[in-house]
Structure 1
Amino acid sequence: MNRTTVALLAALEAFIVVAIGIAIALVPLTLLWAVQFGFSVDWLVFWRAAVDIWLLGHGTDLTVTLDPVTIARTGLLEAGAPFTVSLAPLGIGLITVLLGARTGGRAAESGLWVTGVVSSVATVLVLSAAVTLSASNGTVSPSLVGGIVAPAVVYLIGLAVGLIGARIRRGAVVGGRLGNRLADMGDRVGDRSLGIIASSLRGGAIVASGITGVAAVVVAAMLLLSFGTVIGLYESSGVGVTGGIAVTIAQLAYLPNLVVWCAAWLLGPGFAIGVGTSVSPAATLLGPVPGIPVLGAIPTGDLPFGFLGLIVPVLIGFLGAAAVRPAVVRAAGGAGLVAALGLTAVGIAVVAGVLMGLLALVAGGAIGPARLQEVGPDALAVFLATLATTGVSALVGMASGRYGPDAG
């Protein structure tokens, strides 16, 4: 394919990605407009809401200013001043990343990946600017800069994942002059140091993935065990069938957030649903909780065996270190093996801590006025907890093996 064709195809795929992201919220909201409201409300209200949800899912903050009538109806007297909504539904951003990875892979296969990346990112920037301007109104106003830049950044992450994945499948992650320079740098650093760095990255990724995977299983189990409470919250909401579908889709978009919250719980710090609240293995301290059905799965009161959740990151840290230990042994070549194993264990803990801290950072935010400005886990606390729990277990994992010539 020539350069023009690649640019046009990349722009078309970027347009489809934006359209799909907005449609996830717009389709159920349009059904709500038709069935629940009988076309009596201006459809642009639902368009703006869908765009706001899409922008929020990509990390754009929304400024909400409620009118006196709405404040009086809801009883939210503390909402008299403008407040920020920043709790991003990670499911929407995740879809953009996955679709961006597909575009990045195709761009790499075409041989003109620079053209594809520039064209697709420019398209997302233009579309983001257009929809952000269309969504701004007196009640909800998305950040203009964030609305334009944030979706493009998230999409660029997906493109990078696709490009790197395609190059790995080809056997060359980085080519050209940059690849030659990195190869020269690798020669100067040495195979031993490169082996430690690579094993630290791989082990840290294994640990973070393992903790998140177990958290996903725990969330699924809690939803099943709290099925009656969740259904009761649905029934008491009075949103109807169409509204229930919209609420369910919104909860699915926030499901990755719940998984990260659960991972923070397993690590120890837990998470908050409002200022002064805490949900952790040690204790659960909650104030008034929004009547969102999925929140019915949150455990209430103290859990007698809640501390057993801390075993999960410890065990996964051990397994992650044990998985990469043979590679470290081969890279060390018998010289300074103990030091190499220790450095790799520390590297695994740091990488896992950074990854979990970043997940906690993007999974938290604000969902309302006053006390609801703090929702989700504390990123720094999650980082430190991951560093502590997986650091010790990774050291044990690295120490569990032979040290002779046949070590590993």
Structure 2
Amino acid sequence: MSASTDRPAARRADRPSSRQAQASVADLLPLLSAAVRAVLTVLVPLVALCVVGWIASVRSTSSLAAVARVGADLWLLAHGASVAIVGGSVGIAPLGLTLLAVWSARRAVRMWLRDQVESDRGVPFWRGLGVFTAGYGVLALLVAAVSRSGVGAAGLGTSLLGGCLVAGTGGLVALWAHRPGLPSGVAPFVVAAWRPAVTACAGLLGAGALVLAAALVHGRADVLALHEALQPGLLGGVLLTLGQALLLPTFAVWGLAWTSGTGFAVGTGTSVAPGGTSLEVLPTIPVFGALPAPGATPALALAALAVPVLAGAGAWWLQARRAQPVAGLLHRCASAALSGLLAGIVVAIACSLASGPVGQGRMSQVGPHALLTGAVVAGEVAAGALLAVLVGRAWRTWRGTKVVVALPESGDRTPGKLLGD
């Protein structure tokens, strides 16, 4: 009797787990529609702007389908895809558009996350991030396959990889508050390294943006002269300015590479670095008027080489103030070195997106060298962080150890009583 009555109970106990598995799959399916929404939020307006530019251009002989494919290729370029054109290729990402794509992905995942929280359902971090990233990457692959033509063809592999990178970044930012804890086996000095790395990268990008702003202010006359020489008209001028605005984050990464000392190229055999500038004939792009004149750079520009070191030191100092410091000098030094390595990897990825060919011939090499810049920044940030560790250790040793004496709250406070006489 007991055996017969236990079997139905066991079956009933199995049913809820099956329903929970089905519910979890149902919770993940909206992420696919979220991926579609994230793609269309940026792709449709971009194609629309290309169509508006085509309508405004009275000399254009392209078809509407070809113009739509140009918009799709620009969207894919923003995801790090390389686009083959007649006689060459284009591989520089307009990072302003990339940031819009990351924002769109974050917004789509946040909408799904809000529905999950309001319905009192759990947030499957890794499965949710994986489903959204895979769905977005497949959509980028489909866009690349559909937009291929004899004039331009985006690489399928780079489109898939870039789509996954953009979607993963946006989804990770959206789900960051619901991330699971790290495994217990991860050493504390490894955990303590990522915050200084992120802070140092933010400081370096800010420094690159300041370098770009200073160059634009200094060369504003040349920029305006090049813009007027193109005679783009009212609508064409607006579109030209908008296109260059989407490239400003890309140029900020160039400024970052300039502060590291490695510099960047604007064509084969050229170099723009704190040590000097060597340029050839450039395309008629107004923002290129902000580039420094060829020749030696003022000695004051060499002070920019201290920026990555200061960024590493400042990031570690902020980390030491906000969080519990890692115990042991050796562990703190290892964490500082690891933070520099992580910062170098992030900078190398950014430089890889901000560099590449722009056509054929001499313009086949434009932007910073990704691996070289990442390696140099890793060393500079690690040196700054290690310097902050050693200076902090020396400061604490010089100050000595404070001894806090707690006085009794009541009773006799005479010296004799306090000393236990």
Q: TM-score, normalised by structure 1?
A: 0.81
The correspondence of residues 298-377 of structure 1 with structure 2, limited to 5 A, is 298-301=291-294, 302-304=296-298, 305-325=300-320, 330-332=325-327, 337-377=328-368
Is residue 88 of structure 1 aligned with residue 73 of structure 2?
no
Q: Which residue of 2 aligns with 1:402?
A: 396
Change (3 A) 1:282 1:338: same
Q: Which residue of 2 aligns with 1:391?
A: 382
1:325–1:341 CA contact under 8 A, matched in 2: no
Q: Which residue of 2 aligns with 1:166?
A: 177
Is residue 53 of structure 1 aligned with residue 47 of structure 2?
no
Aligned residue type for 1:303: T
Q: CA deviation at 1:281?
A: 0.2
2:42–2:104 CA contact under 8 A, matched in 1: no
Q: CA deviation at 1:226?
A: 1.9
Indicate the larger mover: 23-32 or 206-215: 23-32
Change (3 A) 1:153 1:390: closer
**How far, CA to CA, are the matches of 1:259 and 1:397 in structure 2?**
27
Q: TM-score, normalised by structure 2?
A: 0.79
Q: Secondary structure at the match of 1:402?
A: helix
The correspondence for 1:99, drawn from 98, 104, 118, is 104
Aligned residue type for 1:166: A
**How far, CA to CA, are the matches of 1:228 and 1:58 in structure 2?**
33
The percentage of aligned residue pairs carrying the same residue is: 27
Is residue 281 of structure 1 aligned with residue 286 of structure 2?
no
Q: CA deviation at 1:9?
A: 4.2
Q: Which residue of 1 aligns with 2:14?
A: none
Change (3 A) 1:386 1:117: closer
Change (3 A) 1:228 1:203: same
The correspondence for 1:133, drawn from 132, 145, 169, is 145
Q: Secondary structure at the match of 1:331?
A: coil
**How far, CA to CA, are the matches of 1:33 and 1:316 in structure 2?**
45
Change (3 A) 1:153 1:379: closer
Gap runs ≥5 in structure 1: 66-81, 168-172, 187-192
Q: CA deviation at 1:377?
A: 0.7
**How far, CA to CA, are the matches of 1:355 and 1:149 in structure 2?**
16
**How far, CA to CA, are the matches of 2:333 and 2:387 in structure 1?**
10
RMSD over equivalenced CA pairs, Å:
2.8
Q: Which residue of 1 aligns with 2:5?
A: none
Aligned residue type for 2:340: A
Indicate the larger mover: 382-391 or 253-262: 382-391
Q: Secondary structure at the match of 2:89?
A: strand
Aligned residue type for 2:338: G
**How far, CA to CA, are the matches of 2:382 and 2:127 in structure 1?**
43
Aligned residue type for 2:396: R
Q: CA deviation at 1:92?
A: 1.9
**How far, CA to CA, are the matches of 1:122 and 1:323 in structure 2?**
36
**How far, CA to CA, are the matches of 2:130 and 2:281 in structure 1?**
47
Q: CA deviation at 1:238?
A: 2.5
**How far, CA to CA, are the matches of 2:75 and 2:37 in structure 1?**
14
Q: Which residue of 2 aligns with 1:146?
A: 158
**Cα displacement string for residues 26-79 of structure 1 (whole angstroms, at most 9, x for unaligned residues):** 2322222222239975211210110011111111111112xxxxxxxxxxxxxx
Q: Secondary structure at the match of 1:275?
A: coil
Aligned residue type for 2:231: G
1:199–1:327 CA contact under 8 A, matched in 2: no
Q: Secondary structure at the match of 1:138?
A: coil
Indicate the larger mover: 238-247 or 271-280: 238-247
Q: CA deviation at 1:206?
A: 1.5
Aligned residue type for 2:358: I
Q: CA deviation at 1:118?
A: 5.8
Identify the structure with bigger relative contact order (alpha carbons < 8 Å, sequence gap 6+).
1
Q: CA deviation at 1:155?
A: 1.2
Q: Secondary structure at the match of 1:340?
A: helix
Q: Which residue of 2 aligns with 1:76?
A: none
1:26–1:50 CA contact under 8 A, matched in 2: yes
**How far, CA to CA, are the matches of 2:67 and 2:180 in structure 1?**
45
**How far, CA to CA, are the matches of 2:199 and 2:248 in structure 1?**
21
Q: Which residue of 1 aligns with 2:201?
A: 208
